Amino acid sequence: MTRALILGGTTDASLLAAAVARAGIEAVYSYGGRTRVPADQPLPTRIGGFGGVNGLADYIRHEGITHVIDATHPFAAEMSRNAVAACAETGTPLIALERAPWTRTPGDNWIEVHDVNCAAAALPDPPAQVFLAIGRQHIAPFAGKPQHAYTLRFVDPPDAPLPFAADVVVSRGPFTLDGELKMMRARHIDWVVARNSGGDGARAKIDAARTLGLPVIIISRPSLPDRLRVESVAEIMQWLGHRTCLGA
Ligand code: 3Y8
Ligand code: NAP
């Protein structure tokens, strides 16, 4: 009897939850608790950390989890590493649903950097209008370059003082090309900083930057341990042993 744990928090994870619910497969959807009002899911949902590798292993045992699907964001590296370790410890089958990174296309003006500190260092010295599209958790390095006019985009309104002066746009996405073009033009954005999240839910800013001829400082993904990895919901459903003639 299948009882799956979906480590969620992305558009792809929501699409998977819908397919799993439609198929009548028993599953639990898990959020880390980063946002105030995460999107509802058509599955029983838990919110908050497990308590490290041991906490996740205990959860798997106590809840009788038979399959774990890591559908977290490519930058949720600690969760992904913990899932690999906990599934190895408990002998639980694990698969990752992970979209491919965005790749540079003609017209893209990308500066690829290793992490957020390198992203801050890559900004020019002369003051510029900078769109920091990397959320809330990892913006501190930009306090070292206060000469720029920053636009931040958060899922929830800030609940603490910012480490530097900035305008905050509150929006959870997914985002549209028209919306990104309108915002970037209205704010005379010169530079964009983004993670290479992949997927469609946040690529509009990348396409808008290309349209406007703007440079994008793009942060490469963290390295993750080897694990079985697919890019489609249909492949996850097949892995769960659910065969349909119409895709997922
Ligand atoms: C809580 C679930 C959907 C899902 C939407 C995707 C698309 C928009 C791209 C920009 C970049 C950013 C951020 C982003 C993307 C989707 C998807 C995706 C980037 C939600 C969600 C949760 C989170 C957590 C949040 C982080 C933040 C990162 C905003 C829900 C909406 C910037 C990542 O305030 C905080 O602490 C926010 C934290 C981790 C990164 C950061 O450091 O601030 N995501 N995002 C998940 C949980 O608790 O487990 O609230 O419903 C999910 C989505 N985020 O279709 O509705 O890729 O699937 N999320 C980045 O790329 O740098 C936005 O603004 O252009
Ligand atoms: P992270 O740094 O990899 O994880 C830190 C800790 O948060 C984990 O060790 C775990 O705590 C807890 N956690 C993370 N995701 C969880 C989940 N889905 N369910 C239960 N606990 C979770 O995580 P993050 O980068 O902050 O991402 C947090 C959530 O936001 C994830 O669901 C992710 O998919 C989503 N998200 C992240 C980004 C991003 O840019 N990082 C973008 C979009 C969406 P314990 O050790 O206590 O178990």
State which ligand 1 atom lies nearest to the alpha carbon of 33: 48
Distance from C-alpha of 145 to C-alpha of 123, rounded to nearest angstrom: 8
The token duo for 182 is 């309108």
Nearest CA to ligand 1 atom 11: 133
Atom 3, ligand 1: residue with shortest CA distance: 11
220 Cβ neighbours under 8 A, 6+ residues apart: 101, 112, 113, 114, 196
- Looking at the domain 109-219, which fold is it? Rossmann fold (3.40.50)
Task: Locate the domains of the chain by residue range.
Answer: 3-100+223-245, 109-219
**Separation of 34 CA from ligand 1 center, angstroms?**
9
Q: Which two tokens stand for residue 229?
A: 């990895």
CA of 125 from ligand 2 middle (Å) equals: 33
Which pTM value belongs to this model? 0.96
The owner of tokens 């209008």 is: 129
Q: What is the chain's pLDDT, residue by residue, as a tens digit (248 residues)?
A: 899 999 999 999 999 999 999 999 999 999 999 999 999 999 999 999 999 999 999 999 999 999 999 999 999 999 999 999 999 999 999 999 999 999 999 999 999 999 999 999 999 999 999 999 999 999 999 999 999 999 999 999 999 999 999 999 999 988 999 999 999 999 999 999 999 999 988 899 999 999 999 999 999 999 999 999 999 999 999 999 986 555 44
Ligand 2 centroid from CA 32, angstroms: 5
At residue 248, the pLDDT reads 46
Q: Quote the CA–CA distance of 102 and 95 in Å, as a whole number.
A: 21
Euclidean distance between CA atoms 199 and 34, whole angstroms: 20
User: What is the residue-wise DSSP string for 75-94?
Assistant: T-HHHHHHHHHHHHHHT--E
pLDDT of residue 246: 54
Q: Is there an atom of ligand 2 within 6 Å of 196 CB?
A: no
Indicate which atom in ligand 2 lies nearest the CA of residue 72: 34
- Looking at residue 174, its pLDDT comes to 83
Question: Which of 131, 172, 175 has most ligand 1 atoms within 8 Å of its beta carbon, as the pocket-test mutant?
Answer: 172
Sheet of 109-113: strand order equals 109-113, 215-219, 191-195, 129-132, 149-154, 166-170
DSSP secondary structure code for residue 35 in this structure: S
Give the number of the ligand closest to the Cα of residue 132. 1
Query: Is any ligand 2 atom within 6 A of the Cβ of residue 32?
Result: yes
Considering the four listed CATH numbers 1.10.150.120, 3.40.50.300, 3.40.50.720, 3.20.20.30, the one that applies to the domain covering 3-100+223-245 is: 3.40.50.720
Q: Which residues line ligand 1 (CB under 6 A)?
A: 9-11, 14, 31-35, 38-39, 73, 133-138, 153-156, 172-175, 195, 197, 199, 201-202, 205
Helix (H, G, I), strand (E, B) or coil at 27: strand
Instruction: Check residue 201 and give its pLDDT.
Output: 83
Under 8 Å between Cβ of 183 and 169: yes
Residue 180 DSSP symbol: H
Measured distance CA(155)–CA(142) in Å, rounded: 19
